[in-house]
Structure 1
Amino acid sequence: MKFDISLGQWESVIALNDHNAKVTCMRLFPLSVISSSRGEMESQESALVTSSCDRSIRLWWKGACQRCFRGHNGPVLSLSNKLIGEGKGRVLASGGDDGTVRLWSLSSGKRGQQALKTTFYGHEKPVKFISVAGHRTSLLVSISSDSKIRVWDANASSAVRSSCCVGMASVSGAPVDMKCHESLLYVAAGYRVAIIDLRTMQIVSTAGTSQTGLYSFEIIPSKSLICTGETGRAMLWDVRKNQGQSKLVAIAELDGHSGPVEHLHMDSYKIVTGSQKDNYVNVWEADSGNQANSLICCSPEEVGGTFGCSAIAVDGCRIVTAASGLENGLVRLRDFTFADHPVSQYEDEGTSKFWQPNSYSDDDA
């Protein structure tokens, strides 16, 4: 979907229909790191990569599927957050219901080229999440539905068996998500977030003691902040304030939802939370946890006729919300880049306003 700000309307909506089963994961990668044969203009564009329960991975740009990769023996559940390796022609990792992790060359496409580069075996359950390590781009971290964690070396010479596994660990509870930063791995599972040192594969700290379990989480490593979504609230944690302690203590409770907080975004300035049970998404200050705004996902006259917030996407001062209605879904785009006055009354009963990241101050919140 492409929106024209000057006209205030959607410029184009393109449906990509080649998958014939549920889409499980989506990633955007610059075309410049996928292929070196494209022109300078195209190198600034991004390609969309999707995985599906139809056992395929598809690469899209220019509004169409350009390549299709097959090899998993079941639904493809996860894609790596980054491409593995350095330079051009890097590879993508995928995790499947078949318990394998597979590496693909996205730049392959000519006849005779092999797209599937490597298959890693070792997980006994479906692979839920995959992340590239922050301190070594050749290391890949995967977690399966039984919360078993494996670290793989993509540069290992024996690239077909479990001997490529260079580290293992496990956490308790069903995995919710995981993220890597430098040599640390943050894993949200069950009722807590475990922080694991990938050099020793030992848990160095934990955050979260939710009695209802976690539904989402985000991190801001530059500020040592962790945010977790729970039932009815989100919790904010500061790793720096608990140095020397194995268990972190929350610094703020972001209370204001009537259901599980499944949708969570956090950057250096703000936290955005949403729930399938709520018609509103809430905006909070990342440093203090104070609420800055509350934005409705539907029109005021539609309150009660939707099933709440089904998705959010945030890019700086732009926020996109999606609400699923009884008949049709509703997508709303808000751009606060040049905001200089409070939002309309029905969106916020107070006088707060959104802030610009480049000119943030206490007066702007």
Structure 2
Amino acid sequence: MGDNHPSSSTNHDSTATTKVTDMDMDSLVHCTSYLTLQDISNMAVSCKFLNRLVYSDSVWRRLFRERWPQLEPYINSQKSGLREAYLARYSALQQFKFVDPLDSNVYLEGKSSDLLLSKDSVFLSQGPLIQIYSIDKLLQGEASFVSLNDHRARITSMRLFPLKETSLFRNEAHINDNVLVTSSCDHSIRLWWKGSCQRCFRGHNGPVTVLSDKLLGDENGKVFASGGEDSTVRLWSLRSTGKRGQHALKATLYGHEKPIAFMSVTGHRASLIASMSKDSKVRVWDASISSSDRNSSCVGMTSVPGVPVGMKCHDSLLYIAFGSSIGAVDLRTMKTVFRTSTNEGKLYSFDIMPSKFLACTGGLGRALLWDMRKNTGAGDAEPMAELDGHIGPVTHLHMDSNKIVTGGPEDPHISIWAANTGNQTNVLSCSPLDSSGCFAMAADGFRIVTAGYNQEYGVLRFRDFNNAVCSGSLNEHVTGSKFWCPSTSGDGDESDG
């Protein structure tokens, strides 16, 4: 029978050896419409064949029109393609190089303490109160907000954690939602969702000063950490049930002698967290260790000279700003990798961009940008760039892969800088009020929110640069961009040529 039907074997072999490279280019371009930008970027480094596909104008025209449907990519040079146009606009928007963002102002009765920015909401704290603004309503000119007022004293920290890690998660429709967790001087921690307090965690013998920047643990159970003026670090389960968070406290970690100032979850092990007290002593804790010995969870210790300013972990390195210096500690050995003076009398703020080995420190009247790879000694070092022109101390810093944002309470403006070079890309006013400084700030991608105050009134100012089209220069008149232009009705699909 096998000899009578040779085509069966042939078809089977042909099917088994079919590869993605056997598909025609048009079919593969269509397949990319089901992929994200990150997926497409990953394809570009997989092989030469898919790299050619990813550089096709058809792919980037689709991406461009999906993200900016009201614009039409314009190519002014035969050497540049739609990929370059897309990336150029994306980078320019991230660096706020425009003068026409969507802009909304909300007047406040007092000074803001902290701001958080999520995909659809702005969270603002004022003393013991939290106000939640819908971004969609802000852009429609509505100043309505949800007020959360269960805390009885000043809020010290706000964090967003995934809803799916909590006992409140019931429906896959909410898989991407977050819960808000806040700590307060009233000795409590509260978890908020759907505009109300869902859990209240109590255990600290004094004000709670700080919350962990991320969750600890693995898929078997996530916890978050808190630090307090009682010098303890406490671990809490988000899976606990009951309004009062019964059985939520999983561990109390002792060892610090002063109030906890900063905490950061490490990158190389999900169970490790570093804490720093106000006496500049650092301890590293392993949340996976459970023992009757209350000191056994401490797996590393070190200290730095000077007042603590900031601390962040990345992979196995712990970056610390203290006094007028910055440094890094290898968490595997607890040895100092580098330490350098910033030549500043005092540091007011600190942030890092670990993927590019960059750090930024805020001083008096300016901020400094540092390349960590060039500062391996123990003495003075030269900054990569000076971000100057500020009035008073730079107390607020934001860093991401595209930009640095700097501001302070005595300066009526915030400054935007290119992360790679430190070149200034824009200056934005904190509020329309005269003599208003920046008291809180949060940035996320194309968006930024600031809270200004002039000793009498406050203003919450939200800007969204995603659909801006008028590029501006600090020293030149506003001009249209050479990379894009408004689309017109009736445009057809151009060829890839």
Common fold: TM-score over 0.5: yes
The amino acid that maps onto 1:121 is Y
C-alpha distance after superposition, 1:51-104 (max 9, x if no partner): 000000000010111000000000000111111101264111100100011101
Give the distance between the partners of 1:271 and 1:292, measured in 2 at CA. 10
Which structure would you say has the larger RCO, counting Cα contacts within 8 Å and 6 or more residues apart? 2
**Aligned AA (1:313):** A
Output the CA distance in 2 between the equivalents of 1:168 and 1:142: 10
Match in the other structure for 2:136: 4
- What is the aligned partner in structure 2 of residue 72 from structure 1? 204
Is the partner of 2:306 in helix, strand or coil? Answer: coil
Mapped to 1, the partners of 2:139 and 2:274 lie a distance apart of: 44
For 1:145 and 1:62, the matched residues in 2 are separated by 35
- Counterpart check, 1:303 vs 2:434: yes
3-state SS of paired residue (2:135): strand
Query: Which residue is equivalent to 1:338?
Result: 467
2:302 corresponds, among 145, 165, 169, to 169
What is the identity percentage for the equivalent residue pairs of Structure 1 and Structure 2?
56
For residues 230 and 480 of structure 2, what CA distance do their matches in structure 1 show?
45
CA distance in 1, matches of 2:139, 2:259: 46
The aligned counterpart of 2:22 is: none
Residue in structure 2 matched with residue 40 of structure 1 by the alignment: 172
1:1-365 pair list within 5 angstroms: 1-4=133-136, 8-10=140-142, 12-35=144-167, 37-87=169-219, 89-110=221-242, 113-158=246-291, 161-242=294-375, 244-247=376-379, 248-299=381-432, 302-304=433-435, 306=436, 308-342=437-471, 350-351=476-477
Compared with structure 1, are the counterparts of its residues 228 and 105 closer, same or farther at alpha carbon in structure 2 (3 Å cutoff)? Answer: same
Structure 1 residues 202 and 63, CA gap change in structure 2 (3 angstroms): same
Q: Aligned pair in 2 of structure 1 residues 207, 64: CA closer, same or farther (>3 Å)?
A: farther
Q: 1:218 to 1:127 in 2, by over 3 A?
A: same
The answer to whether the 8 A contact 2:163-2:169 is kept is: no
Contact 1:3 1:11 in 2 (8 A): no
Partner amino acid, structure 1, of 2:274: V
CA shift, 1:167, in A, is 0.6
Specify the code of the residue in structure 2 equivalent to 1:63.
Answer: G
1:359 is aligned to none
Name the structure where helix makes up a greater proportion of residues: 2
Measured against aligned partners, the alpha-carbon deviations of 1:139-172 in whole angstroms (never above 9, x if no partner) come to 1110000000001111113165112211100011
Tell me if structure 2 keeps the 8 A contact 1:121–1:161: yes
Q: Tell me how far 1:176 sits from its aligned partner.
A: 1.3
Instruction: Work out whether residues 137 and 143 of structure 2, in 8 Å CA contact, stay in contact via their aligned partners in 1.
Output: no
CA distance in 1, matches of 2:323, 2:478: 35
Kindly indicate whether the alpha-carbon contact (under 8 Å) linking 2:263 and 2:276 is maintained by their aligned counterparts in 1: yes
Provide Cα deviations, 1:190-211, integer angstroms capped at 9, x if missing partner: 1111100001111111244233
Instruction: Tell me the matched-pair count.
Output: 347
User: Over residues 295-332 of structure 1, what are the superposed CA-to-partner deviations in whole Å (9 max), with x where a residue is unaligned?
Assistant: 01122xx322x3x1111110111111110133321011
Report the CA distance shift for 1:270/1:180 in structure 2 as closer, same or farther (over 3 A).
same
With normalisation by structure 2, the TM-score equals 0.66
Q: Find the aligned partners of 2:249 and 2:292 in 1 and give their Cα distance.
A: 12
Q: Conserved in 2, the CA contact under 8 Å of 1:339 and 1:354? A: no
The whole-number CA distance in structure 1 between the counterparts of 2:297 and 2:480 is: 48
Q: Distance in 2 between the 1:199 and 1:285 partners?
A: 33
SS across alignment from 2:373: helix
Distance 2:386 2:447 in 1: 24
CA contact (8 A) 1:177 1:187 kept: yes
Mapped partners of 1:352, 1:172: distance in 2: 48
CA contact (8 A) 2:339 2:377 kept: no
The alignment's TM-score, normalised by the length of structure 1, stands at 0.89
Residue 233 of structure 1 deviates from its aligned partner by: 0.4
* 1:294 CA drift (Å): 0.5
1:245 CA displacement: 3.5
Backbone CA RMSD of aligned residues: 2.2
C-alpha deviation, 1:109, in angstroms: 1.6
> Aligned partners of 1:7 and 1:137: how far apart in 2?
38
83-92 or 274-283: bigger deviation = 83-92
Contact 2:165-2:238 within 8 A present in 1 as well? no
**Mapped partners of 1:121, 1:147: distance in 2:** 16
| Alpha-carbon separation, structure 1, partners of 2:305 and 2:438 | 29
> 2:493 is matched with which residue?
none
CA contact (8 A) 1:26 1:51 kept: yes
Give the counterpart letter for 1:45 in structure 2. Answer: D
Cα separation, 1, equivalents of 2:314 and 2:431? 36
Partner SS for 1:130: strand
- Of residues 207-216 and 317-326 in structure 1, the stretch that sits farther from structure 2 once superposed is 207-216
Which sits farther off after the overlay, 72-81 or 154-163? 154-163
Larger Rg belongs to: 2
CA deviations 1:5-34 (Å, max 9, x no partner) are: 795323641111000101000100110122
Distance 1:352-1:29 versus aligned 2 partners, 3 A rule: farther
